[in-house]
Amino acid sequence: QVQLVESGGGLVQAGGSLRLSCAASGSMFRFFVMGWYRQTPGKQRELVARIDSGGDRNYAVFAKDRFTISRDNAKNTVYLQMNSLQPEDTAVYYCHTFFNSRDVWGQGTQVTVSS
């Protein structure tokens, strides 16, 4: 079983930065494709960024040039560095991976950007 625990959310002013962390349990982390998603009330969860086991990244259009996903396999942790945050980035951010053909989600961390 794999568990994901996010941290690093909070309240920030527009234009500010936050770094989210997601720690994974188990010994297989380096093989996992890891993703960050976000969700606001009444909307579907959407992909923010993804990084595969080889370090290749892809981003949602809104995240490109402002957000950076990275991973530290020695720490079983994936990060999301978010810069130039805007009020529309306010959401619950979730860490995600697949394990045994199943979606695994963290509990989410709230990011609130004030104008």
- Which pLDDT tens digits describe the chain residue by residue (115 residues)? 899 999 999 999 999 999 999 999 989 999 999 999 999 999 999 999 999 999 999 999 999 999 999 999 999 999 999 999 999 999 999 999 999 999 999 999 999 999 9
**Cα separation of the two ends of the chain:** 40
Task: Say how far apart CA 18 and CA 8 lie, in whole Å.
Answer: 7
Is residue 52 a contact partner of residue 109, using CB atoms and an 8 Å limit? Answer: no
Taking alpha carbons only, the member of 4, 65, 67, 9 closest to residue 33 is: 4
